[in-house]
């Protein structure tokens, strides 16, 4: 069967039985939430000027966003096992919209950091609810469904940062974030009105969330899940470190104009629009080990090559290589969504994502300190070495799903 026939077959299956509108709604909300987060890296110079932040403190600001987005995923996962996921996704978009409003009206760095923390908490409600909702909706094609929504996340991350750059330069940096608020609120409502709760939530005792969390923690001791948790942590550390300062690196070290840096940053996510659905389909058909190695090896090469050239065309190619790692999420999250039992799926995903993302949230502040001392190039070489370690760990994963 040709690749075109496979893609057509997958698309038909995803859209059929009235599921397509629900998938689109969830994907649009996810795209706006992810795109909003990626606006921060392109407006760092404006935040530094407005609030007098150093690169290290700017890295801490992004760490706060990622950290609070991580710690909220455990309670978010427990709630996803007990509450209608559509309600959780709506709540997430409303909280983020309110936090963005507070960010753009903040009068001090303290208020900015507080609003950023609230932003992260609001964001944290959406991911697990999205995964459990889609894993119930698409029992046989969870990899493809998650790949589509994650690709839509990359569309948001591709489009919103360049738009924010234009607005920040032409109007004010506040406009670069504020314009996201209205569509975000609409997206939250879109999720509710275009989908229905497919499975009733069972009635649970007050002690069941704790039991679910303890069961999920015990499950981490199984070799495959424990290894996948370690892989996911290292990947998220690399991803958060890279995305936090890539536009800044391109302007300060490579000497590119801010508009060019923003376009390259958007291009990084644009490649992910293609990579993630392909990675999800590869997981469904080839298993976790083969599909994961396929997206990690090009990124390893890209990180090691990045410091070696200032040529914009070469940088475009290297950015595309690094973008291959964006397929990791569709593979790892599909694997985890399948290995946890249905009655603890939300708690299990919440535990894994909270542990990995909270620990990895230190990446931006560490990378900010590295950049502050003028060692950005060495920082990217270090990311390449860490990615090579992830590839080796992946080879220990089982071949089968």
pLDDT at 17 over 80: no
Rounded mean pLDDT, 351-377? 87
Q: Is the pLDDT of residue 207 over 50?
A: no
Q: Does domain 9-196+209-394 have CATH number 1.20.1250.20?
A: yes
| Distance, CA of 230 to CA of 234 (rounded, Å) | 6
**Measured between alpha carbons, how far is residue 136 from residues 198, 327, 354 in Å?**
8, 22, 22
Please report, rounded to a whole number, the percentage of residues in the chain having pLDDT higher than 70: 84
In 3D space, the residue among 370, 393, 150 whose CA is nearest the CA of residue 242 turns out to be 370
| Structure token pair of residue 10 | 């997958």
- Compute CA distances 395 → 83, 203, 228, 283, 321, whole Å: 37, 41, 11, 15, 20
> What's the pLDDT at 358?
84
Mean pLDDT of 101-106: 94
CB 129 within 8 A of CB 76: yes
Q: What is the mean pLDDT of the chain?
A: 83
| pLDDT of amino acid 158 | 85
How high is the pLDDT of residue 361? 85
Phi-psi region of 200 (alpha: psi -120 to 50; beta: other; left: phi over 0): beta
Pair of tokens at residue 389: 């370690």
pLDDT of residue 299: 95
pLDDT reported for residue 331: 86
Q: End-to-end CA distance of the chain: give it in Å, rounded.
A: 21
Which alpha helices (H) appear in 324-401, and where do they start and end?
328-339, 345-360, 363-372, 376-394
CA distance 147 to 326: 10
Closest CA to 304 of 367, 381, 370: 381
Residue spans per domain, the chain: 9-196+209-394
State the average pLDDT over residues 45-60. 90
What is the distance between the alpha carbons of residues 369 and 149, in angstroms, rounded to a whole number? 33
- 269 pLDDT band (50/70/90 cuts)? confident
Residue 377 CA to residue 288 CA, distance in Å, equals: 31
Read off the pTM: 0.76
Confidence of residue 288 (pLDDT cuts 50, 70, 90): confident
pLDDT band at 9 (very low <50, low <70, confident <90, very high): low
Q: Which of 10-24, 283-297, 299-313, 323-337 is the most confident on average? A: 299-313
Question: CA angle, 40 as apex, 38 and 44 as ends, to 5°?
Answer: 140
Would you give the distance in Å from CA 368 to the centre of its chain? 20
**pLDDT recorded at residue 153:** 81
173-182, 189-198, 203-212 — which is least confidently predicted? 203-212
Residues 13-28: what's their mean pLDDT?
Answer: 74
Q: What is the largest CA-CA distance in the chain?
A: 61
Q: What was the pLDDT predicted at 64?
A: 93
pLDDT score of 73: 78
Helix (H, G, I), strand (E, B) or coil at 205: coil
Q: Does position 274 have pLDDT exceeding 80, yes or no?
A: yes
Residue 18's pLDDT is: 63
In the predicted model, is pLDDT for residue 279 greater than 60?
yes
Residue 390 pLDDT grade (very low, low, confident, very high; cuts 50, 70, 90)? very high
- 250 with 315: CB under 8 angstroms? yes
At 113, list the tokens.
Answer: 């950091």
- Measured between alpha carbons, how far is 134 from 193 in angstroms, rounded to an integer? 16
Tell me, what's the pLDDT at 135?
76
């Amino acid at each position: 069967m040709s690749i075109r026939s496979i893609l057509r077959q997958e698309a038909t299956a995803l859209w059929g039985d009235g599921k397509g509108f629900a998938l689109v709604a969830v994907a649009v909300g996810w795209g706006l939430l992810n795109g909003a987060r990626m606006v921060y890296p392109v407006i760092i110079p404006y935040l530094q000027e407005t609030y007098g932040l150093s690169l290290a403190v700017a890295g801490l600001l992004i760490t706060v966003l990622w950290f609070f987005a991580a710690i909220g995923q455990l309670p978010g996962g427990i709630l996803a096992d007990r509450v209608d996921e559509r309600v959780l996704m709506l709540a997430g978009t409303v909280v983020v919209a309110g936090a963005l409003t507070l960010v753009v009206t903040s009068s001090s760095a303290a208020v900015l950091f507080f609003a950023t923390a609230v932003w992260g908490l609001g964001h944290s409600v959406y991911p697990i609810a999205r995964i459990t909702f889609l894993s119930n909706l698409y029992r046989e094609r969870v990899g493809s469904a998650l790949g589509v929504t994650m690709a839509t996340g990359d569309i948001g991350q591709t489009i919103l940062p360049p738009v924010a750059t234009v607005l920040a330069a032409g109007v004010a940096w506040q406009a670069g974030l504020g314009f996201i608020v209205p569509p975000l609120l609409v997206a939250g409502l879109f999720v509710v009105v275009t989908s229905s709760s497919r499975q009733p939530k069972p009635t649970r005792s007050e002690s069941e969330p704790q039991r679910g969390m303890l069961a999920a923690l015990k499950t981490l001791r199984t070799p495959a899940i424990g290894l996948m948790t370690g892989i996911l942590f290292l990947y998220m550390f690399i991803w958060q470190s890279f995305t936090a300062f890539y536009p800044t690196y391109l302007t300060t070290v490579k000497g590119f104009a801010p508009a060019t840096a923003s376009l390259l940053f958007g291009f990084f996510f644009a490649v992910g629009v293609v990579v993630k659905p392909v990675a999800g389909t590869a997981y469904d058909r080839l298993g976790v080990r083969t599909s994961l190695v396929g997206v990690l090896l090009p990124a390893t090469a890209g990180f090691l090559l990045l410091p070696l050239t200032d040529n914009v065309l070469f940088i475009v190619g290297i950015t595309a290589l690094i973008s291959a790692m964006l397929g990791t999420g569709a593979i790892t999250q599909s694997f985890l969504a399948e290995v946890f039992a249905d009655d603890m799926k939300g708690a299990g995903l919440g535990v894994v994502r909270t542990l990995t993302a909270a620990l990895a949230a230190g990446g931006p502040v560490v990378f900010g300190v590295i950049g502050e001392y003028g060692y950005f190039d060495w920082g990217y070489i270090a990311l390449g070495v860490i990615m090579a370690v992830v590839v080796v760990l992946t080879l220990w994963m089982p071949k089968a799903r």
